[in-house]
Chain A
Amino acid sequence: MRGLIVRRLFHMVITLFFVSLVVFFMVRLRGDPISVMAPPTFSEEQIANLRAAWGFDRPLVEQYVLFITRAVTGDFGQSIQARRPAMELVLERLGNTWLLASAAALLGVVIALPLGIVSAVRRNSLLDLVSSAFASLGNAMPNFWLGLMLIIIFSVNLRILPAFGALEPAAIIMPAVTLAVGTAARLSRMTRSAILEVLNQDYIRTAYSKGVSQRVVLYQHALRNALIPIVTVFGLQLGWLLGGSVIVESVFSWPGLGRLMIESINVRDITVVQAGLLWFSLSFLLINFVIDLLYVYLDPRIHYR
């Protein structure tokens, strides 16, 4: 187990290194941001000075080496716009994004598991049909649109929920629901097919034939063995939730990393964009790491070589 952890962590570092390469060169695809920063009254010389002050005049490779050696120590450079360390800005917002994503994930699981299990047990019933329709719709709807619809219903017309911000606890409800619907849609379908697959196994029939109640068969025998694919999809969904937060946070003005990214992109604050992307990626890799460890716990037969 320790060997597995060390190997996975090593893998993660390598991947992060590739991410940093991609991110670094990507944000510079259209040159440095000085041209946007500098007031139009600046002379050529002043712009050149500014460029030198920010280090944008050095060769790209040198800039990258500097960036990566500093990033390892947690220094992502100064935000061009806010004149504060980019890392500080990111960490301020990261917690809010995790809070929103976890709330949505929890909500998604609470909806998806019962829905998936019941649809599997009562296959082709009316409820199965309804849950299938829900899943298709949840998948096809743009989540920001769902968010806007919730605002129209609950803020504009019913006036019971705040439409934006994070000042009161109730403010998390609509963004979390908005994000959770897509997750619940995908997870419920996965749960259904995973349970269906397990229900066909011999040991389930054996359990029934020796008189075990349906409840126990379902939760002790079936669900436990169906968990691996469910957890896999759940892990993917967590990543998806992090991504979805970029748009949903903008719709609800939720002060998270996603909104920080959009704000920074709009003013071409590339140090913050860089830092934000790397933290998104780190979050995502950590999720995968935990999921990998969960596999071993869920199915002792799994050995990673």
Chain B
Amino acid sequence: MTANAHDTMAPSQVARLAAVKPRQPRLLAFFALLRRSPVGTLGFIIVILVVFLALFGAWVAPHDAQANNLRARYMPPGFVSETGVFTLGTDQLGRDVFSRIIVGSSVSVLVGVVSVIIAGTIGVLVGLVSGFFGGWIDNVLMRIADGLLSIPFIVLVVAISGVLSAGLGTLILILGLTGWVTYARVIRGEVLKAREMEYIVAAYAIGQSRFHIIFQHILPNVISSAIILAASQVGVAILAESSLSFLGLGVKPPTVTWGLMLADGRQVINSAWWMTTFPGIAITITVLGVTFLGDWLRDVLDPNVRGRN
């Protein structure tokens, strides 16, 4: 057996994390690994912060994100009124931009996480079936994948959500149902490799069912690719949601989202620059954090990439 084959047979990836320092609890091992990468740590901190705000934003925010104050419309950053400081200014209804950014994080997190889980689950299943069984079913699934891939992702999503006049739930579903293709492609490739391994032949030889082989032997060996991909797709989903909401084809008011805030800001781009500037910075920092964490995860989970670059 080649060294490469041995590599794929190594214990599951979680165990590999733990194997860095034997006997150390997994969580500690995770942090020990994380500490070695400043960029990974930064990403982790950003992600934790955003998730925290998404969960508890309404309590943390200095103002009520929905509270109108028509006497304090379009006030620039640093505006002080009897109700307190408006650090990042106010919008067209006198609402606090800073509080709205904090509260708006929950939509981004929800969309990013749930749509990626949906897309990942479908994609992994399709990839497993396609790669394992091959034949006509593989052909049909991959042609559908080709078809979906040949329309630029954002165009596809724009068209569907426009036609369905989507709300938050539909939007998440659309992102999930269109996003599976990339996973399917990657997993299929991995399965094709894994299928030829001797341990699979061995599993057949001892009479294990195909179902058992797919989920017990192949899945654990290909799942790390899906996790790596998922980490990068969270950012893509967050950007897609903000684009759609910005175009008026995604989440509808009064839900607070960064994309909608940008759409509001665009109307008064000549005067109220803060309404456009700060929500965009929030999106950028969030996606940056997710990407950093994802890159680090890739380096840790995929020993083939480790050390490159």
Q: Which residues of A contact B (CB under 8 A)?
A: 14-16, 18-19, 21-23, 26-27, 29-30, 136-137, 139-142, 144-146, 148-149, 151-152, 156, 192-193, 196, 239-240, 242-244, 246-247, 250-251, 258, 261-262, 265-266, 268, 270, 273, 277, 280-281, 284-285, 288
B111 at the interface (CB under 8 A from A): no
Set of chain B residues within 8 Å of A27, measured between Cβ atoms: 159, 163
B193 at the interface (CB under 8 A from A): no
Q: Which residue of B lies closest to A241 (CB)?
A: B152
A281:B162 contact, CB within 8 angstroms: no
What is the total of A-B residue contacts with beta carbons within 8 Å? 145
Interface string of B137-166 (1 = CB under 8 A from A): 000000110111011111110111011110
> How many B residues have CB within 8 A of the partner chain?
46
A270 touches which of B163, B165, B242, B308 (Cβ 8 Å)? B163
Set of chain B residues within 8 Å of A142, measured between Cβ atoms: 239, 242-243, 246, 262, 280, 283-284
CB distance from A297 to the nearest CB of B (A): 23
**Whole-angstrom distance between the alpha carbons of A276 and B262 in the complex?**
26
B277:A152 contact, CB within 8 angstroms: yes
B154:A140 contact, CB within 8 angstroms: no
What secondary structure prevails in chain A residues at the interface with B? helix
B49 at the interface (CB under 8 A from A): no
A140:B235 contact, CB within 8 angstroms: yes
Set of chain A residues within 8 Å of B163, measured between Cβ atoms: 26-27, 29-30, 265, 268, 270, 273
B146:A18 contact, CB within 8 angstroms: yes
B283:A266 contact, CB within 8 angstroms: no
B249 at the interface (CB under 8 A from A): yes
With A18-B143, A21-B147 known, 4 other A-B pairs at CB within 8 A are A26-B159, A142-B246, A145-B280, A247-B247
Set of chain B residues within 8 Å of A266, measured between Cβ atoms: 162, 248
A30:B164 contact, CB within 8 angstroms: yes
B276:A144 contact, CB within 8 angstroms: no
A277 touches which of B144, B155, B247, B292 (Cβ 8 Å)? B155
9 closest A-B pairs by beta carbon, nearest first, are A243-B152, A265-B162, A18-B147, A145-B280, A140-B287, A140-B288, A243-B154, A19-B147, A281-B150
**Whole-angstrom distance between the alpha carbons of A26 and B174 in the complex?**
11
CB distance from B111 to the nearest CB of A (A): 13
**6 A–B contacts, CB within 8 A, in A order:** A23-B151, A142-B284, A144-B243, A152-B269, A247-B243, A266-B162
Q: Which residue of A lies closest to B147 (CB)?
A: A18
**Whole-angstrom distance between the alpha carbons of A270 and B235 in the complex?**
30
A243:B155 contact, CB within 8 angstroms: yes
B143:A14 contact, CB within 8 angstroms: yes
**Whole-angstrom distance between the alpha carbons of A29 and B173 in the complex?**
14
Set of chain B residues within 8 Å of A288, measured between Cβ atoms: 150
B249 touches which of A136, A156, A193, A265 (Cβ 8 Å)? A265
A280:B155 contact, CB within 8 angstroms: yes
Say whether, besides A136-B288, A145-B284, A152-B269, A246 and B147 are in contact (CB < 8 Å). Answer: no
B115 at the interface (CB under 8 A from A): no
A284:B269 contact, CB within 8 angstroms: no
B291:A140 contact, CB within 8 angstroms: yes
A261:B284 contact, CB within 8 angstroms: no
CB distance from B163 to the nearest CB of A (A): 5
CB distance from B135 to the nearest CB of A (A): 17
**Whole-angstrom distance between the alpha carbons of A144 and B258 in the complex?**
12
B308:A193 contact, CB within 8 angstroms: yes
A156:B146 contact, CB within 8 angstroms: no
Q: Which residue of B lies closest to A153 (CB)?
A: B273
CB distance from A111 to the nearest CB of B (A): 19
CB distance from A235 to the nearest CB of B (A): 12
**Whole-angstrom distance between the alpha carbons of A21 and B144 in the complex?**
10
B159:A277 contact, CB within 8 angstroms: yes
CB distance from A63 to the nearest CB of B (A): 16
Q: Which residue of A lies closest to B239 (CB)?
A: A142
Say whether, besides A139-B291, A144-B243, A15 and B150 are in contact (CB < 8 Å). Answer: yes
Say whether, besides A284-B150, A284-B151, A148 and B266 are in contact (CB < 8 Å). Answer: yes
Say whether, besides A193-B308, A247-B247, A261-B155, A148 and B276 are in contact (CB < 8 Å). Answer: yes
B40 at the interface (CB under 8 A from A): no
**Whole-angstrom distance between the alpha carbons of A122 and B165 in the complex?**
50
Say whether, besides A30-B163, A136-B288, A144 and B246 are in contact (CB < 8 Å). Answer: yes
